[in-house]
Amino acid sequence: MTASDVLALLPLLLIAGSSVAVLIAAAVGRNHAVAFGLSLAGLAASFCSVFFVPATQVTALLDIDGYALFFFGLISAASFAVALLAYGYLRNRDIDKEEFYVLLLVATLGAMILAASSHFASFFLGLEVLSIALYALIAYFGDRPLPVEAGIKYLVLAASSAAFLLFGIALIYADLGTMDFARIEHILAANPNPNLTLLLPGVALVVTGIGFKLALVPFHMWTPDVYQGAPAPVTAFVATVSKGGMFALLLRYFAQSGINRFAPALLVFTIIAIASMLAGNLLALLQSNVKRILAYSSIAHMGYLMVALEVGGAIGASAVVFYLVAYFIMTLGAFAVVTVLSAEHRDADQMEDYRGLFWRRPVLALIFTAMLLSLAGIPMTAGFLGKFYIIAAGAAAGSWALILILVIASTIGLFYYLRIVVILYQQPGDANQPLPLRMPAAGLVLAALTVILVWLGVYPSSMLQAIHTAIGSLL
């Protein structure tokens, strides 16, 4: 490994070093502010480093190209926002707080490894680093039954999906003799009629493992329970950073391995996309818990992304990345509102917690409205342009059936988003609404996310230019 390779790994090394620094600081003396400050410094340094490190292939495992660096910046920025939300959320709770930031940084490191993985070995390593940290983060409040239950469910199902993934990798290796994505593509290109006896089952099992992490139907059953049970900042992390890192890996795998050559694989992706869009939106209609509504909503949004993924090429990849950026902003903003309104003893996840919010906290209600309308795809927001680019990509490929289902599913989703919006502006109820925590840092997060949300909805050209540059290094 050369000095250039070490420099290319700097964003990863800074996150790993920050986690060790927080761990040592906690061992020397418990101080929430110190752990928080070290975490923010590490995440900020990692974000800034992506603008200076060289793009290079570091061994066969990690491809630090422009695409990986783009996702390094996106993941570190999202984790920075989650850390800001977590500080106020944890501050007045009678628990050890420093370990939370260690786990957050380790999970961020795992997501970044996924984004740069060009080999099944690094893929599995990044997935396990991410998953193991998430087990503890989800169940971090051990004195409450819901987080522990959610953590156990995630542990059992994630371990099962990892077994499927490993078996699938083994079958692909047995058939092709390699685990390198680019080498797989080269072998498949040289042999247009390969023996699919082991390859297709292997791909199916790998898709099963990836589908669990992305909560795609039919691998979505864990999502509402984990979203409801996990602490609000952790739910925001799971919904954005965890899924974002995995989808970055899926897009690289799809683009570089040549798996999109096979009609059976494309058929499976089509079925998953349709099922996710419809099931996510239809099941959300039945919910009265805000976190569960957002959980089913995230399933639908992953289905929208699968539509663009199937299109392939530069237009499909650009639509995927832009929608992921918009999804990060919308989802972080929605869960930031949930975090701010949460009390010390429970999260603000019931509909009654939001009744008449406009009359109590008008700015917060307006921000939550903007996030929900963006998730619904209303014009002048990042969510609208994200869906527009996905539809444009599908139209360019002639995927009219998928476009029609996407439009129908989005129309269904509009109902439950507006249902929450209506409650925000009703007269305050008499329910025992939680006393919101004092979280000055969360105000900065919400303000920044709202500005970016509107900016991308009105003037997306600069972001699109950065995305096109990043995609250019992938394809």
Return the pLDDT at 203.
87
> For 31-69, how does the pLDDT look when each residue is reduced to its tens digit (9 = 90+)?
888 999 999 999 999 999 999 888 888 888 888 989 999
What is the band of 435 on the pLDDT scale with cuts at 50, 70, 90?
Answer: low
Q: Out of 65-79, 339-353, 360-374, 388-402, which region has the weakest mean confidence (pLDDT)?
A: 339-353
Residue 16 or 435, more confident? 16
Residue % of the chain over a pLDDT of 90: 52
Return the pLDDT at 16.
94
Range 412-422 average pLDDT: 92
Look at the chain and report how many structural domains it folds into. Answer: 2
Q: Out of 5-9, 131-135, 190-194, 198-202, which region has the weakest mean confidence (pLDDT)?
A: 190-194
Range 439-454 average pLDDT: 87
Q: Are 110 and 245 in contact (CB under 8 A)?
A: yes
> In angstroms, rounded to a whole number, what is the distance separating the alpha carbons of residues 122 and 128?
10
Residue % of the chain over a pLDDT of 70: 96
> For 156-188, how does the pLDDT look when each residue is reduced to its tens digit (9 = 90+)?
888 888 999 999 999 999 888 888 888 888 888
Return the pLDDT at 107.
95
What is the band of 23 on the pLDDT scale with cuts at 50, 70, 90?
Answer: very high
Asked whether residue 180 falls in the same domain as residue 199, the answer is: yes
> In angstroms, rounded to a whole number, what is the distance separating the alpha carbons of residues 170 and 440?
50
Q: What ranges in 92-119 are assigned the alpha helix state H?
A: 98-116
Asked whether residue 20 falls in the same domain as residue 94, the answer is: yes
Asked whether residue 175 falls in the same domain as residue 235, the answer is: yes
> For 97-118, how does the pLDDT look when each residue is reduced to its tens digit (9 = 90+)?
889 999 999 999 999 999 999 9
Return the pLDDT at 438.
60
> In angstroms, rounded to a whole number, what is the distance separating the alpha carbons of residues 335 and 368?
9
Asked whether residue 182 falls in the same domain as residue 247, the answer is: yes
Asked whether residue 276 falls in the same domain as residue 217, the answer is: no
Asked whether residue 235 falls in the same domain as residue 216, the answer is: yes
Global pTM?
0.94
Asked whether residue 273 falls in the same domain as residue 227, the answer is: no
Return the pLDDT at 439.
67
Asked whether residue 189 falls in the same domain as residue 270, the answer is: no
Q: How many alpha carbons fall within 13 Å on the CB side of residue 229?
A: 26
Asked whether residue 236 falls in the same domain as residue 304, the answer is: no
Range 349-360 average pLDDT: 86
> In angstroms, rounded to a whole number, what is the distance separating the alpha carbons of residues 326 and 437?
27
Return the pLDDT at 404.
93
Range 293-320 average pLDDT: 91
**Mean per-residue pLDDT over the chain, rounded:** 88
Please give the residue range of the domain that contains residue 118: 1-255
> Quick one: tokens of 248?
């970055």
Q: How many CB atoms lie within 10 A of CB 459?
A: 9
Last residue of a domain, one of 221, 255, 289: 255
Return the pLDDT at 164.
92
Asked whether residue 227 falls in the same domain as residue 339, the answer is: no
Return the pLDDT at 397.
81
Buried b (16+ CB within 10 A) or exposed e, 183-222: bbbebbeeeeebeeebbbebbebbbbbbbbbbbbbebbeb
Asked whether residue 239 falls in the same domain as residue 266, the answer is: no
Asked whether residue 94 falls in the same domain as residue 154, the answer is: yes
> In angstroms, rounded to a whole number, what is the distance separating the alpha carbons of residues 312 and 396?
11
> For 118-163, how does the pLDDT look when each residue is reduced to its tens digit (9 = 90+)?
999 999 999 999 999 999 999 887 667 788 888 899 998 888 889 9
Last residue of a domain, one of 235, 255, 275: 255
Return the pLDDT at 29.
84
> In angstroms, rounded to a whole number, what is the distance separating the alpha carbons of residues 407 and 399?
13
pLDDT greater than 60 at residue 434: no
Q: What ranges in 215-262 are assigned the alpha helix state H?
A: 223-229, 232-237, 243-256
pLDDT greater than 90 at residue 322: yes
Sort 392 into a burial class: Cβ within 10 Å, 0-12 / 13-18 / 19+.
middle
Q: Are 51 and 466 in contact (CB under 8 A)?
A: no
Last residue of a domain, one of 238, 255, 272: 255
